[in-house]
Structure formats: structure tokens, C-alpha cells
Amino acid sequence: MSKIGVFYGSTTGTTEEIAQRIAERLSVSTNDIHDASKLNEEIAGEYDVLVLGTSTWGAGELQDDWYDGIKVLKKMDLSQKSIALFGCGDADSYSDTFCDGMGILYEELKSSGCRFIGATAITGYTFDASTAVVDGAFVGLPLDEVNEDDKTAERIARWTEELQKQIH
């Protein structure tokens, strides 16, 4: 059975709360939920599956806690790891950079040898542009807690069910 670790970067607490909800759906212990600012090779090395979550700030920027965390992951051999991404964004106010933070994580790690899981169809989302869309789908789970918080529980449920099928 694959060991899953959930890592999040959160400024306002929203992404942390989403990380906890995702972890619960995946039956991940609270001991296996980590703040990205405390990420190191030893902790990340414990897991077969890394679930990485970030919000998007400013003009499509990565959340601050990830700047050092992503450097740690890029130094590691991730060839035996699966990575699932989730991101929080605001599709109304920042429609042209919706969940770009998730796209940045993907771009930074795509040459690491890891296997990405958990892509999400763009159907049902309203936005203008996102670097998190690759080959016509989001690279992970995009969530809009500002404008569509009523859809979050269903989106998490659907995504985590799909993740469980993709984890081996």
C-alpha cells in the first residue's frame, strides 16, 4: 500500500483547511499532513505519493511557503513517486491567472521523473487562462473557495475517488 503525504502552503488558512479535508478523504493521518515551509528531503522521502497544495497570489505567483519547498523537491530523485496537485484560486477576480500556483508546481517538477496523477477536466470551471491547464485539463484539482465554495466538497470527493484508483 502506498504511503501518502499531504503538503500545503497556506497564508490565510484556506489551503491548509483544504489539505486537511483531502487528507481525511484519503484516510491520511494528521501526522502525514505537512506545512510546505517545513518540507525537507527526509520528510518527503517517507512517502510514495505526495499531494501538494498551494494557493495563487498576486499576478499568478506561487504561495510563499513553497519557494524553499520546491527547491527541496527538485533536488530529490522523484522517479519512484506519484504527485497529485491541488490549488486554490479566485476565478472571478483573477480569471487570467486562475490556480497558476498549481501550474508553477507542475512546471517546476515535470522534469523530475515523477508520475503526475489527478488531472481534472476543465468542464464546470469558468476562467480565462491558467498555467495549470496542460493538454486541455487541469494538472490537478482547482478550487475556488471565494466564489464556488458550494462546489468544493463534491469536487474533493470526486477527485480523491479518482486519485485512489490511480495510486498503486
DSSP-assigned states of every residue in 110-145: TTTT-EEE--EESTT---S--TTEETTEESSEEE-T
Q: Give the Cα separation of 32 and 7 in Å (integer).
A: 8
> Tens digit of pLDDT for each residue in 47-76?
999 999 999 998 899 999 999 999 999 999
Q: For the chain, list the domains and their CATH numbers.
A: 4-166 (3.40.50.360)
pLDDT value at 124 more than 90: yes
- pLDDT of 59 reads 85
Which residues 6+ apart lie within 8 Å of 154 measured at CB?
A: none
Q: What is the mean pLDDT of the chain?
A: 96
Q: Give the Cα separation of 166 and 118 in Å (integer).
A: 8
Q: Give the Cα separation of 10 and 114 in Å (integer).
A: 24
> Tens digit of pLDDT for each residue in 17-56?
999 999 999 999 999 999 999 999 999 999 999 999 999 9
Across residues 5-10, what is the average pLDDT? 97
- pLDDT of 17 reads 97
Q: How far is CA 135 from CA 32, 57, 132, 143, in A?
A: 31, 24, 10, 19
- pLDDT of 78 reads 96
Q: What percent of the chain has pLDDT over 90?
A: 98
Q: Give the Cα separation of 108 and 123 in Å (integer).
A: 25
Across residues 5-15, what is the average pLDDT? 96
Question: Given pLDDT bands bounded at 50, 70 and 90, which one contains residue 100?
Answer: very high
Cell (9 digits) for 39: 518540507
